[in-house]
Structure 1
């Protein structure tokens, strides 16, 4: 009887030991997974437009304010604020430009980033999207000349076009376009409606600045404007759409 009792007790002990070992293994796995997740880089994104008003935006002064007197700067700022309030409006979740105002820009500045947004336009509309570092991307009515020669996506340095779009990927006039722009210190990579339309890696610039929406001769509409931070690693020459 003593031997039978001893075997039973030994069996119970072994069973408890197995359960304890399993619990410890599961606990260690949970801790490892939790630690791994905590160490992963956290990608954050910034919505530039809250779909209600122009909070986070300001008039983009297109002259050297250092050359103006304090009074002139104050007067210019007042006029620019009035212009923004008249010609840029938030309605139905869309940032609307009426075609008669000046550019606006974000109050925040950004470094290397991916800028994504949707836009559409009225006939003969054209403008440039200003990027951190000073370059800009042309968008607008690609069909105004009837031959698609004004395809969106050209890269500009000031008034000089430095990269022409390799193809026309614009949606039909009046339909929404989806644009993604990868901005790095040595590269700008432009995608329109799922197709790469321009890329430039022949320059180097100090990369820090606001996002700017230019004015133009006809109405434009924007929505879902989002900025995500990037590292400075250039894009591959022929990647699939991220």
Structure 2
């Protein structure tokens, strides 16, 4: 998220279609298989599926790769921008569509302590995010839920502060390093929330490690962007949210493990 109401301009829209397709084959992962004491060829696990080890560990798919089962638009809006497309959870981008048919997508279930993983691919000059602990008593999800920022760090058409860059805990904690891959490539996000302890991981790098509800956290909230949003970060349980910021973005392999 950057500012609400700002819709990025896609100066290279053609590139986004050429380089940001679903790439289903890329989503395959290898599940180790052993026979006795010898390793044998690992069987591929399709995108939007769980390995046997993940199932045993308690992981749950949040996106089945086929439809929006388990998701709805924030506050029940009749949104039109989200769909299941070629094995991805896809949000359309637009430089002109500012209608009330745009909306953020939230999980139907709520989560308290969890580990969340997702792969994402962003269009050029794009801006989006993954929010968590989101509640619905406010006008927008960002008024309650912290956000794992997703943005085109190198080509966004406005100057970015460090706390606006990919992997940041938006407007609270800047990422310790820039770990996003070039636009057009898939990225892997991991978010851990456990009794207020929050970790943001991007492509295997831990970029945020912070503790909510401490005096330091309260001071950061009171002196920054959220000083006028009393409900920000107060919920102990809430929805997972994928942000529609007017940018085209693709998600896949979205899964969660309650802790």
From 116, 135, 155, the counterpart of 2:146: 135
Matches of 2:83 and 2:174 in 1, distance apart?
31
Q: Which has the higher strand share?
A: 2
- Per-residue deviation at 1:145? 4.6
What does residue range 10-159 of structure 1 map to in structure 2 within 5 Å?
Answer: 43-61=57-75, 77=76, 80-81=77-78, 83=79, 86-100=80-94, 101-132=102-133, 134-145=145-156, 151-156=165-170
More helix by share: 1
Quick one: structure 1 residues 202 and 54, their matched pair in 2 at CA, closer, same or farther if it must change by over 3 Å?
A: closer
SS in 1 for 2:119: strand
CA shift digits 1:27-80 (9 cap, x unpaired) = xxxxxxxxxxxxxxx63111010100101111113xxxxxxxxxxxxxxx4xx2
Q: 2:97: which partner in 1?
A: none
Conserved? CA contact 1:124–1:217, under 8 Å: no
Distance in structure 1 (CA, Å) of the matches to 2:186 and 2:129 = 17
Cα offset for 1:206? 4.3
Distance in 1 of aligned mates of 2:73 and 2:156: 31
Distance 1:92 1:202 in 2: 37
Per-residue deviation, 1:131? 0.7
Is the 2:126–2:156 contact (alpha carbons within 8 Å) kept by the matching residues of 1?
A: no
1:187 offset after TM fit, Å? 1.3
Higher relative contact order (CA 8 A, sep 6+): 2
How far, CA to CA, are the matches of 2:86 and 2:92 in structure 1? 15
Shift in Å, 1:152: 0.7
Listed as ranges, the gaps of 5+ residues in structure 1 are 1-41, 62-76, 231-242
Aligned counterparts of 1:129 and 1:185: Cα–Cα separation in 2: 19
Larger Rg computed on CA atoms: 1
Query: How far apart in 1 are the matches of 2:69 and 2:175?
Result: 33
Query: Structure 2 CA distance, aligned partners of 1:216 and 1:99?
Result: 8
TM-score (norm 1): 0.63
Q: Summarize deviations over 1:194-218 as a string: whole Å, max 9, x none.
A: 1111111142654211100011132
How far is the alpha carbon of 1:128 from its aligned partner? 2.2
RMSD of aligned Cα (Å): 2.1
Alignment TM-score, normalising by the size of structure 2 = 0.59
Secondary structure of the residue aligned to 1:130 is strand
CA distance in 1, matches of 2:105, 2:235: 21
